[in-house]
Amino acid sequence: MKSSVGEAIKLSVFGESHGAAIGAVLEGLPAGHKIDFDFMLSQMARRAPGRDNTTTSRKEEDLPEILSGALDGVTTGAPLTLIIRNKDTISKNYDNLKVNPRPSHSDYAAYVRYNGFNDVRGGGHFSGRLTAPIVAAGAICRGILKEYGIAIGGHIFNIGEVTDNQLDPVNVTAKELDELSMRYFSLVNKTQEDKMRQEIEKARTDLDSVGGSVELAAVGLPVGLGNPMFRGVENVLSNILYGVPAVKGVSFGAGFGYSVLKGSNANDNMYYDNGKVVCKTNNCGGITGGITNGMPLTVMVALKPTPSISVPQQTVNLNTKENEELVIEGRHDPCIVPRALPALEAALSIGLLDLMAEGGKL
């Protein structure tokens, strides 16, 4: 079970939902960066459950402890390790998860993969809780990117049938992204917030859940970041973004919309703007041939509805080999999109810092 990623910046994520602690190791960080702990905590807060009734009522006080790699809050260049102790775990019996795997959860696949030895309590290593160390690690990487003039942000693009506006792929600014990154329910068009919350609330009262998607962006990236073929920006970022549980689709720029376009509509014509090469449109999402072209990087990420729902479902009993009905109890998010957003921004930040380091830009 490998849970690490990256070449020049390596992220290793560890822990289980109900184990002693969860955490992450970041290798390859430059020395001398002052960590902005307030920013880290703001991002942890965006991801934390229990904020309002769009999320699970489970409370977490996810204060990461830095075990290594920083001295007086400044990176030393050594591997940076942070851990978050697990608390507020209800010690109920989870053994039934090995008997009755939950539909569309990892339970059955993991049972086979690990011969039944995997920790199933709360989803174990597969839990969405593992995004907490990603958010913390991502906040550090984002702070370093900021030193290089790179801003990252994102917003909920849709929850079920309710849709936000897209970011302007040509003119989106660092300021706009920074602001989005400080909000819990980040939207470009705030007037959609009520409708989206109603969509989630409806799912909650129906004992159901609802999917969604988010749009991420980065501005200020140098031209020439990335590589052709298998270490291109798209490869590296999709690899790390799929590390966030529930992600089922990742696209760049016009993404799947490209498939119905003509070249004459799709191509991003170029011109000089104050001596800088820019594009009139940005369908390619800032990446051509796997390499950044200086335009804003834009990514769309699709998230499936939380599979933990309380309506009755059909599953199997791995002991008796009989089919059974399952009703999942406990506290669950009716929609994980708002909480997944900061984790996806964090993953994007880590992936981009890896590309910056690999490209000798740090």
| Interface segment toward its own copies; rule CB under 8 A; list 36-44, 143-151, 189-197, 242-250 | 242-250
Map residue 70 onto helix, strand or coil: strand
- The nearest distance, CB 231 to its own copies, in angstroms, is 4
CB–CB of 342/47 below 8 Å? yes
Map residue 103 onto helix, strand or coil: coil
Element (H, E) at 315: strand 313-317
- The nearest distance, CB 60 to its own copies, in angstroms, is 17
The site that binds its own copies (CB under 8 A) totals a number of residues, namely: 153
Task: Characterise 258 by phi-psi region: left (phi > 0), alpha (psi -120 to 50), beta (else).
Answer: alpha
Distance CA 77, CA 120 (A): 35
- The verdict on 145 binding its own copies (CB under 8 A) reads no
Considering the complex, state which of residue 287 and residue 353 has its C-beta at the smaller distance from its own copies: 287
Give the tokens for residue 13: 């994520």
- The verdict on 188 binding its own copies (CB under 8 A) reads no
User: Pick from 256, 41, 257: which is nearest to 138 by CA?
Assistant: 41
Considering the complex, state which of residue 166 and residue 235 has its C-beta at the smaller distance from its own copies: 235
| Interface segment toward its own copies; rule CB under 8 A; list 6-14, 52-60, 137-145, 181-189 | 6-14
Residue identified by tokens 């998860």 is: 97
Considering the complex, state which of residue 32 and residue 175 has its C-beta at the smaller distance from its own copies: 32
38 to 77: interface string for its own copies, x by CB under 8 A: ---------------------------xxxxx-x--xxxx
- The nearest distance, CB 203 to its own copies, in angstroms, is 6
- The verdict on 240 binding its own copies (CB under 8 A) reads yes
Q: Which residue in the set 245, 296, 338, 342 belongs to the binding site for its own copies (CB under 8 A)?
A: 245
Distance CA 60, CA 128 (A): 13
- The verdict on 229 binding its own copies (CB under 8 A) reads yes
CB–CB of 81/68 below 8 Å? yes
- The verdict on 319 binding its own copies (CB under 8 A) reads no
| Interface segment toward its own copies; rule CB under 8 A; list 35-43, 48-56, 188-196, 276-284 | 276-284
- The nearest distance, CB 232 to its own copies, in angstroms, is 6
Considering the complex, state which of residue 50 and residue 249 has its C-beta at the smaller distance from its own copies: 249
CB–CB of 353/141 below 8 Å? yes
Q: Which residue in the set 90, 182, 311, 327 belongs to the binding site for its own copies (CB under 8 A)?
A: 311
Torsion (CA) 321, 327, 332, 336 in degrees, nearest 10: 70
Considering the complex, state which of residue 151 and residue 291 has its C-beta at the smaller distance from its own copies: 291
Residues 72-131 that bind its own copies (CB under 8 A): 74-81, 83, 101, 103-110, 112-115, 117-119, 124-126, 130
Buried b (16+ CB within 10 A) or exposed e, 239-265: bbbebbbbbeebbbbbbeeeeeeeeee
